Structure 1
Amino acid sequence: MRIFLVLGLLLGAICAHAQLGILRGTVSSSDTKDLLIGVNVIAKNGSGVTTDIDGRFEFSLSPGTHTITFRYIGFENLEKTYEIKAGEATEVKVMLTPSVSQLEMVVISAGRYEQRLEELTVSMEVIKPYLIENRNNTNISQVLDQTPGVILVDGEPQIRGGSGYSFGAGSRVQVLLDDIPMLSGDIGRPNWGYLPTENVEQIEVIKGASSVLYGSAALSGVINLRTAYPRDEPITKVSIFKGVYSAPRTSPDLYWRDPDYRHELGVYHPVQNMVAAPMQGGANFFHSRKVGQLDVTFGANLFSDMGFTGPEIPDKFDENGRPLVWDSIEESGDTLFRRPAQMSENRARGNLNLRYRFKNIEGLSVGVNSNAMYSLSSFALLWLDADTGLYRPRTRGITTTEQLNFNIDPYVEYIGKKGRNHKLKTRYFHLDNENTNNQSNYSRTYFAEYTVSQDFSHYGIEGLNITAGGMTTYTDAWSNLYVANERGDGENFAHNSALFMQIDKRLFHRLTLSGGVRYEWFRINNDFREAPIFRAGANYRVLDGTFVRASIGQGIRFPTIGERFIVTAVGGQNIFPNPNLQSERSYNAEFGVKQGFEVGGFRGFVDAAVFYQEFDNFIEFTFGTWGVPDPLGPGLNIQQLNEILGFRSVNTGPALVRGLDFSVMGQGKIGGVELNLLLGYTYVQPLVLDPENVYIVSDLETAMGDNYPIVPENPADQVGLQPVFAPITYQNTSSFGDGNLLKYRVEHMAKLDVEATYKGFSLGTSVRMMTPIRNIDRAFIVLDTDLFLPSGVTQWMEDNQNPIYVMDLRASVKVSKRSKVALIVNNLYNTEYAIRPLSIESPRLTMLQYSLEI
């Protein structure tokens, strides 16, 4: 009897299932006709699915009339009614219309799932690829220079003044390529030339502590470059460009007209019989297409820049009149000379992204992204002097790097029908830097991260999204630079793991709440550290197009291998290790308002925010006397002094950065003119909270007390050097102690980029205003003498106290339906300026660009 009952129940269930109907189809954009991935398809009874990677959906419904809602970020919601018949499949094709009520932008970085820009609880800027292409930016740092709230000091990113200058070590801004960290594993430095400018979907810049989702280096923010996937139609883009530097305003600095260097550059002006002005040029290529279920994206870049900073001053000339620089002394006693080095850059880069979308397993895709670059470049830390040597490096102050980088990023992604998405991302990052001056370094970084996100609207809980995951990264590093470790062999490893979770909930269709937690484990060699961090935020839609937000978040940054174990000299300046360097922590709070606007067909956002970030155990690169001369005698001569003077990363105690941020972003048409606008102003007040705090007692002070007589050639120099030996505090290591300003900060900056296009003709301009850095290391002022480091920086800072204005101009014209020619002039007025004193910026650069899109 029981058997018949069970059979009856099974038969009833089968019959009931057989009575269901099926609704299936595709969802695409009415504008581009591209199929849309991840569209929520929901019935009134709460059941529903998400479109897969091919834009398809399918689910079962009971017979009858059903109202289905199609919902996707950046598009208008759509409701459609369908008649479902038992045992039959209903095929539909749905077109969603992009939202036009305001400038809809979809971002991922803030919560690791797609969100509308205006609904975020943090400040974010979004940079579209048109700005990179039309400005002919040859690396990502150049477009970041035009981003509100961001400035780069010798390639080191600062967001809202949260970072200073640390000779390239230990970034407080996490740099990502497709959500995966791209900072070097040994020293935490970004390589902007490595990132693929030719393959950019958009760049997302989070301003404020973001360690909960992105870990240690995201203490002050995140820069995430997202590469593009193929559209339904193939795209091919090619551009070539050539540019020439103008003569600097200071005519004595025009090094390329110096006849002593004709042989070095080897390019002659046909009339003047002088070396021609240095040039740069290159080419970009990009192609993407769908081949059945396979998505293919390929990009390449060639770039050559002779540089605007000339060769080193020679020590002598050979019998043919060619300049030579002293290099080293062999064991035999013979002196070796080399040709003078010059600032330049040459690179070849390629990237290939592949993604396969499974037909038989809906929503499943696997892929691999890859990027590789070979480059040969030179870098100088200090100019020769501020009189006639602004565009010359100090002799033996250039480091030349032959670099081979590549990364391979396999990944798996599954978009579930019930709003649950799984991602497994991995990376192998290979970095080889063959440097002169015994500074070569090699590292291998292995990365893996799994995340799962759940949209609970499929379960009847509207507006709830939970993202959780874990990551691990491991770096092996080898270098003669990092010999201050326990074994003294230059071999080190770093291991970082974390678990994280973030919850976002929308309430009453107006309020969005967000909260997250992360637990970090970090280890360098035998030193193990761990820490929890938290964040929370809210966004409230006051009116249509008006959004108010507030957030608070913690940040943490563990010191890198380089900061703890480096031993080297750069530009004549010694760099000392600090194996006992402690982690720095911060918390960040902000309150902001975002207002959407629309004027005719032109729409966008106005955003204003006030922010406050407080640090503990703040790490600063600090000048002092480190180590003890050998032998330690009753006196200290100049040679011994030079051996122990230099920079070292130290914990300086508490600090804070507060200020305000304002930006406007817009695009659209007014009349027949298409406009793009990006405008911003940022004010920061970066403060040391305890200026009398003694950071550290130097080894020399411990060993000798006050008994360290110096024997300079000029007794007057001894008086000037006394601050070098005082206890190491903010006051005696800062060139400008008034106001307790942190070093190497730009307090005011304003930026504008506007472009207008009409009937194939385009005209655009970029303008940047910044106030000069007022506070640098006092050592550069103290040592600005003929005896030590005669740089002229003291007089330069006195003479250049007014705001800096730099303007770029660009114009292009379409010569056919698919090609255009552009003239681009950077630094139009040939402004002579330095963001970081002791390092001059580029004079005017005039470029001609030809672009073709097929």
Structure 2
Amino acid sequence: MHRTIALFPALALSAATLGAQGLVALHGTVHDDQGAPIGHAQVGLRGTTLFTRSDASGRYRLAQVPTGTVHVRVDAVGYAGLDTVVAISADSASVDFQLRFSPLTLAPVSTVIEKLPHFGERPATSVAQVSERDLDRRAVNTVDEAVDHVPGIQFVNGQINIRGSTGYIQGLNSRVLLTVDGVPMNQGDRGGIDWDLLAVNEIESVDILKGAGSSLYGSAALGGVVNVTTRDVPNGLHSRLRLTGGAYADPPYAIWQFRSSPGLQGGADLSASYGNDVAGGSIAVGDRHSDGYRQQDSEDHFHMAGKTRWEPSQGVRVDISGAWAVNRYDVPLSWCNRGKCDDRGQVFQPFMIDTTERGARTDSRKAYLAAQIRSTVSPGFAWQARASLLRTHFIDVRRSANEYGIGDRFGTEARIESHPDTNRSVLVGGEVTFSRVSSDIFGSHTQAELAAYGQSEQQIGSARFSGGARLDFLAVDGGSLTAVASPRIGITIPTDRREQDGGILRASIGRGFRAPTMAERFVHTFALGFEVIPNPNLHPETAWSFEIGHTTAPVLGTFRVDAALFWTEAHDLIEPQAVLVPPDTIKIQLQNVVRARLAGVDATIIGAPIPNRLITTLGYTYLSTRRRLAGDSTTGPLAFRPRHLLTLGADYTVGSLDVGADFRFASRPERIELEGFVDPRRVPVKVLDLRAGWSRGPVAFRLLVANALNYIYNLVPETLAPVRTVTLTVVWAH
């Protein structure tokens, strides 16, 4: 503690010394060996707070750079990182960097996901990335469709599982935290995630932190963190138009047919921006419609988004962003079982719905507004602050009754980042979150969270150590405080220094937690024919997560392997339980009843057997889970967790043409929630996606055939997963 406090006078003296030396703005371009610009490259000075990203034209500008000799690191997805020493003078602060194409190079770590810049350094916890190229070539419409291909990750009816973290509870909670440019975006009432709040057209990349992230991010980061980085506002005038159109396959059997013509989908997204070295702004609008692939499955979606940046002085930047989206979608609550519709003599009709659910729909509105400021006082000292508001509003229209909920989440955070020397960094911050809900099924309630956190990293020899902790205080409806501590330590050690991008061994252990949402505490509704009753006495879920992993250096120049062993011990997990209310009524209540263990192996192989042409990926996750109820010695597997997850991918490029394929396999879950009360039918997942693309100048065409084999399966009871869908996407960018 005394060492940390003593840093600040030293930093002030360092800043004064640097000021005497002179600070300039380093600028230039980042390009490949053919002279083509490289956008979104990270440019930074090792061991400092100084970093920036190049724009779509490859231009970058880095403020507060001291004159003299500096050590610059440049990274970009798909290119070998560049470490170089540059001599900077007041009269010459322009430097261009050239990167070499290298598909096996690890993607640079987002400065947001770890809250500290890592120039060429890898964190002690597994991190995966979905790049802009991945988003473009997969021609997806929402973020979750792209993230679903990341090894170790599976979406179950819209809820994300990182190494089996979440499972599935309809309409409630997520044990993974979503952030947009570092701003938390989980709903204030239900704690879930709206993956369609931002259109793909506005997204630059997605970073996924696997494992407990509560030491920096607090509640909901029990299973990991997903950060969406939106497109920055580049200099000059730019515009982008994205058009999509497609059709759903018919049911594979005539007896399952439910309409006379194919279902269609389509949409349009338009964005425009203008900026210079001082300020810039962008605006985006979009609209989508889908007929759906099942009976009563149509959807209409409209969204708007905007972003501004302002750099009033050297080293100071202000960003303001926001988005608003409106959804109206029909709800096929569950498929039709015998006698509940025109079943045509079948035991069940997966494409049809129960006639008593005709007309069910949901109207949903969500919006966020966020403001952030970062001030780089000197190369060794910076501070950052943000404020945000997220609002969600839904109306469920049902035959029996209508339900609504309005949730607000206010957040503010401030942090200080210091680098006393090139081998040490310190991060200290605080965060306040206030949520409120007004609903006819959740009631009217508030929840406040107050937190302080700190983290330090130290290079000792070749090893890099990191350690930190966060202390959260929670209060519901102004009641007594609940305190939760979340420490974490980690280490990374290079295992191959023969080349710049060598192997790395990593290990970490940390504690995560998730506070019960107000919806979980106070929900009072009906589901599956049962009354769901509130439980205001719920307390936080907690878990200790351990990981040890290794990333090899490129082997024979053609492939590299990343593998990790992970182990999580979770306590007080919240699950729905059937409770007997005297004399003989069965009701459903969410309770802290589960102690669980999740352990396994998460491995990825990236190959480039034909350089600059063929890139292949293989991901495999083995997951073993054990669940034990409170007061019960019997054990069993956790619900909705497949034991095996396999992803295969291949991309081949020839000039302006590229073709690719993705295959996903998930074994049949051994257990589902409320088994015995719902239809237990479930099968393994075997989904093949095919894609092709052609680009020339500002125009690109993308063809996607999702679920090309039209494999019929379900991830949750009585809910059919998407069938084969053919989509054509056209993008024009200027």
Q: Tell me if both proteins adopt one fold, taking TM over 0.5 as the criterion.
A: yes
Q: Which of 566, 581, 596 does residue 538 from structure 2 map onto?
A: 581
Q: Which of 402, 405, 413 does residue 441 from structure 1 map onto?
A: 405
AA matched with 2:336: L
Deviation for aligned residue 1:750? 0.5
Match of 1:726 in 2: none
Q: Which of 689, 700, 711 does residue 831 from structure 1 map onto?
A: 711
Deviation for aligned residue 1:387? 3.4
Moved more, 615-624 or 649-658: 615-624
Match of 1:427 in 2: 388
Q: Which of 363, 368, 372 does residue 402 from structure 1 map onto?
A: 363
Deviation for aligned residue 1:69? 3.5
Deviation for aligned residue 1:670? 3.5
AA matched with 2:671: N
Match of 1:614 in 2: 569
Indicate if the aligned counterparts of 2:25 and 2:65 stay in contact, CA closer than 8 A: no
Cα 1:233–1:754 change in 2 (3 A) is farther
Indicate if the aligned counterparts of 1:169 and 1:188 stay in contact, CA closer than 8 A: yes
Cα 1:677–1:203 change in 2 (3 A) is farther
Match of 1:597 in 2: 554
Match of 1:768 in 2: 664
Cα 1:33–1:750 change in 2 (3 A) is closer
Per-residue CA distance 1:678-735 (angstroms, 9 max, x = gap)? 43111111101x35x44xxxxxxxxxxxxxxxxxxxxxxxxxxxxxxxxxx696xxxx
Cα 1:207–1:80 change in 2 (3 A) is closer
CA distance in 1: counterparts of 2:219 and 2:107, whole angstroms? 31
Secondary structure of the equivalent of 2:722?
coil
Cα 1:753–1:285 change in 2 (3 A) is farther
Per-residue CA distance 1:167-190 (angstroms, 9 max, x = gap)? 121211111111111111011011
TM-score by length of 2: 0.87
CA distance in 2: counterparts of 1:836 and 1:35, whole angstroms? 38
AA matched with 1:454: S
Secondary structure of the equivalent of 1:141?
helix
Secondary structure of the equivalent of 2:350?
coil
Per-residue CA distance 1:793-837 (angstroms, 9 max, x = gap)? 34x34xx4xx431101111233x4222333211110110111223
Secondary structure of the equivalent of 1:440?
strand
Cα 1:92–1:177 change in 2 (3 A) is closer
Moved more, 410-419 or 742-751: 410-419
Percentage of pairs with the same residue: 22
Q: 2:219 aligned with 1:216, yes or no?
A: yes
Q: 2:199 aligned with 1:199, yes or no?
A: no
Cα 1:676–1:350 change in 2 (3 A) is farther
Secondary structure of the equivalent of 1:835?
strand
Match of 2:469 in 1: 517
CA distance in 2: counterparts of 1:33 and 1:227, whole angstroms? 17
Match of 1:279 in 2: 264
Q: Which of 716, 726, 730 does residue 846 from structure 1 map onto?
A: 726
Indicate if the aligned counterparts of 2:235 and 2:276 stay in contact, CA closer than 8 A: no
Deviation for aligned residue 1:536? 0.3
Q: 2:74 aligned with 1:119, yes or no?
A: no
Deviation for aligned residue 1:118? 5.7
Deviation for aligned residue 1:477? 0.7
Residue pairs, 1:455-494, within 5 angstroms: 455-456=419-420, 461-482=421-442, 490-494=443-447
Cα 1:610–1:58 change in 2 (3 A) is closer
Q: 2:192 aligned with 1:152, yes or no?
A: no
Which structure's residues are more often helix, by fraction? 1
Deviation for aligned residue 1:165? 1.5
Cα 1:247–1:364 change in 2 (3 A) is same
Indicate if the aligned counterparts of 2:156 and 2:716 stay in contact, CA closer than 8 A: yes
TM-score by length of 1: 0.75
Cα 1:425–1:599 change in 2 (3 A) is farther
Q: Which of 328, 345, 365 does residue 376 from structure 1 map onto?
A: 328
Secondary structure of the equivalent of 1:252?
helix
Cα 1:177–1:69 change in 2 (3 A) is closer
Q: 2:513 aligned with 1:562, yes or no?
A: no
Deviation for aligned residue 1:76? 2.4
Moved more, 385-394 or 219-228: 385-394
Match of 1:683 in 2: 622
Q: Which of 529, 535, 559 does residue 572 from structure 1 map onto?
A: 529
Deviation for aligned residue 1:215? 0.7
Deviation for aligned residue 1:763? 0.5
Match of 1:706 in 2: none
Q: 2:346 aligned with 1:346, yes or no?
A: no
CA distance in 2: counterparts of 1:462 and 1:380, whole angstroms? 57
CA distance in 2: counterparts of 1:127 and 1:617, whole angstroms? 32
Match of 2:44 in 1: 39
Q: 2:85 aligned with 1:79, yes or no?
A: yes
Q: 2:540 aligned with 1:535, yes or no?
A: no
Cα 1:196–1:470 change in 2 (3 A) is farther
Q: Please tell me the root mean square deviation across aligned C-alpha atoms, in Å.
A: 2.8
Residue pairs, 1:50-199, within 5 angstroms: 50=50, 55-57=61-63, 67-71=69-73, 75-81=81-87, 89-98=90-99, 102-116=105-119, 119-199=122-202
Cα 1:154–1:647 change in 2 (3 A) is farther
CA distance in 2: counterparts of 1:92 and 1:70, whole angstroms? 13
Deviation for aligned residue 1:247? 1.4
Secondary structure of the equivalent of 1:648?
strand
Q: 2:249 aligned with 1:246, yes or no?
A: yes
Per-residue CA distance 1:90-138 (angstroms, 9 max, x = gap)? 3332233447673452322442022257621001111112222222212
Cα 1:141–1:232 change in 2 (3 A) is same
Cα 1:686–1:288 change in 2 (3 A) is farther
CA distance in 1: counterparts of 2:52 and 2:604, whole angstroms? 36
CA distance in 2: counterparts of 1:141 and 1:33, whole angstroms? 26
Deviation for aligned residue 1:419? 2.5
Cα 1:182–1:396 change in 2 (3 A) is farther
Cα 1:566–1:196 change in 2 (3 A) is same
Deviation for aligned residue 1:841? 0.5
CA distance in 2: counterparts of 1:345 and 1:749, whole angstroms? 30
Q: Which of 793, 802, 810 does residue 691 from structure 2 map onto?
A: 810
Q: Which of 372, 377, 380 does residue 416 from structure 1 map onto?
A: 377
Match of 2:10 in 1: none
AA matched with 1:207: K
Match of 2:343 in 1: none
CA distance in 1: counterparts of 2:83 and 2:378, whole angstroms? 19
Secondary structure of the equivalent of 2:318?
strand
How many equivalent residue pairs? 683
CA distance in 2: counterparts of 1:283 and 1:672, whole angstroms? 32
Per-residue CA distance 1:35-74 (angstroms, 9 max, x = gap)? 98873389xxxxx99478972556787xxxx644434566
Structure with greater Cα Rg? 1
Per-residue CA distance 1:431-484 (angstroms, 9 max, x = gap)? 22122233200122211111221123xxxx2221111111111112100011xx
AA matched with 1:150: I
Q: Which of 644, 648, 659 does residue 589 from structure 2 map onto?
A: 648
Indicate if the aligned counterparts of 2:43 and 2:73 stay in contact, CA closer than 8 A: no
Secondary structure of the equivalent of 1:743?
coil
Cα 1:224–1:60 change in 2 (3 A) is closer
AA matched with 2:529: G
AA matched with 1:243: G
Deviation for aligned residue 1:379? 3.0
Q: Which runs of 5+ in 2 are unaligned?
A: 1-16, 32-36, 54-59, 338-345
AA matched with 2:266: G
Cα 1:605–1:303 change in 2 (3 A) is farther
Secondary structure of the equivalent of 2:353?
coil
AA matched with 1:198: N
Indicate if the aligned counterparts of 2:26 and 2:65 stay in contact, CA closer than 8 A: no
CA distance in 2: counterparts of 1:284 and 1:380, whole angstroms? 27
Cα 1:387–1:162 change in 2 (3 A) is same
Indicate if the aligned counterparts of 1:118 and 1:594 stay in contact, CA closer than 8 A: no
